[in-house]
Structure 1
Amino acid sequence: MLRVENLSVSIAGAEILRDVSLQVEPNAFVGLVGRNGAGKTTLMRAVMNLIGSDAGTIRIAGEDTTRAAPHIHARQGVGYMPEDRRLVPDWSVDDNVRLPAWAANTDDAEARVRRIYELIPEVAKVSDRRAMQLSGGQQKLVALARAFVAGTRLMILDEPFEGVAPALVQRLVEILSTLRSEGDHAVMISESDAVYSTALVDRTFVIERGRVSAV
């Protein structure tokens, strides 16, 4: 579903990713583990074409997306949950959740949203509130719901467990476990120390100083 080959990325003249290669098979859950500053977020942002690359290729479902416009991913069935959530603060929760469906002009938007609200009823309960009115934990759930709406085939989740209370971490694990049991999504989850993702993933990649190795 996702294949990264020999990817190198520099930011402001500093090399952040060095000849990175990894792949996520269809319907597989993959962990990306590394300390803060190791390059996890840079790799995920590069996969989503939010930053450019110096060398290498990125393929999603066999299609070369190395130079694609970022918005194309919603049409490819790829969802992204940034570490910092990136919700539109003045928009309602419902509008934030629906944003990828609008971007992709999907015919089944209503069905997708209904499915997400069934899976994450906590988001449905606050759907009419503005994103800025939510707690950090609630915003995490909304960002995950938004990624679900887009990610019918592949989801890229950057530090979903970071900075949230233990009870919410457990809830996030439950949601992802449900998704895993359904067996129709590929997911890449980044985490600093693999405390929570180990039970979810089929394999783990470790990133250190911009280089990736398989465990």
Structure 2
Amino acid sequence: MIALDDVRVAIQNVEVLRGFSLRVAPGTLVGLIGRNGAGKTTVMRTVMGHLPLLAGRVTLGGQDLARVPPHRRAALGIGYMPEDRGLVPELTVEENIALPVWVSRELVLRDRLAMVYGILPELLEMRDRKALLLSGGQQKLVALARALAVGTRLLLLDEPFEGVAPALSQRLSEVVGQLRGSGLTVVISQSDLNHSRRLLDEEVVIERGANVTTEAAA
């Protein structure tokens, strides 16, 4: 579904990804594991087109993403949950969820919202609340919901369990667990595997922007 082949990416003239490769089969849950600064977020931002390639290739279902401008990538069925959540503070919860759906000509907003609220019913009662009034944990849920709304093919979840209370971490694990067998491809970046090892089909370790090892999850 998603493949990065020998990818090199620099930020402010510092090479962050140094020949990194990743191949994720359709319908699988893969953990991208590495310590802080290893390059996990850079991998996801590269897939979304936020960072340009120095070398290598990124494809989605065989389609070369270099030919797709960043603002059109969500419409390909990619849902992205950034580590910093990336919500628009002045928009409501529902408006934040709807944002990427508006760029798709194929998705019906009413149907996508119904799906999201079915998975995360706790968001229904706060759908008219502005994002700036939410707690950090609530904002994480909204960011996940936004990714789910548009991610019909691929979900990129960047450190979803980082900095959240244990109860919310458990809730996020439950939601991710529901995606198993749905046909959706999911890549989860993490600094450790405390929260999701049992959910994963495969673990890919990244260190200093390069591959370390790839192995089946226990």
TM range (shorter): over 0.9
1:109 aligns to 2:121 (yes or no): no
Runs of 4+, deviation exceeding 4 Å: none
Q: CA deviation at 1:196?
A: 1.1
1:210 aligns to 2:190 (yes or no): no
| Residue matched to 1:134 | 134
Once the two structures are superposed, what CA deviation does each residue of 1:6-29 show, in whole Å capped at 9, x if it has no partner? 000011111100101111111000
Q: Which amino acid aligns with 1:200?
A: L
Q: CA deviation at 1:204?
A: 0.4
TM-score by length of 1: 0.97
Q: Tell me how large the CA RMSD over aligned residues is.
A: 1.0
Query: How many Å separate the matches in 1 of 2:190 and 2:92?
Result: 29
TM-score by length of 2: 0.95
Once the two structures are superposed, what CA deviation does each residue of 1:39-82 show, in whole Å capped at 9, x if it has no partner? 00011100111111100000001100025211222221110000
Contact 1:49 1:67 in 2 (8 A): no
* Correspondence 1:1-215 to 2 at 5 A: 1-180=1-180, 182-212=181-211, 213-215=213-215
Q: CA deviation at 1:4?
A: 0.6
Question: Percent identity at matched positions?
Answer: 50
**After alignment, is 159-168 or 196-205 more displaced?**
196-205
Q: CA deviation at 1:183?
A: 2.5
Q: In structure 2, list runs of 5 or more residues that go unmatched.
A: none
Matched residue of 1:199: which SS? helix
Query: How many Å separate the matches in 2 of 1:131 and 1:165?
Result: 19
Q: CA deviation at 1:107?
A: 4.0
Query: How many Å separate the matches in 1 of 2:123 and 2:101?
Result: 17
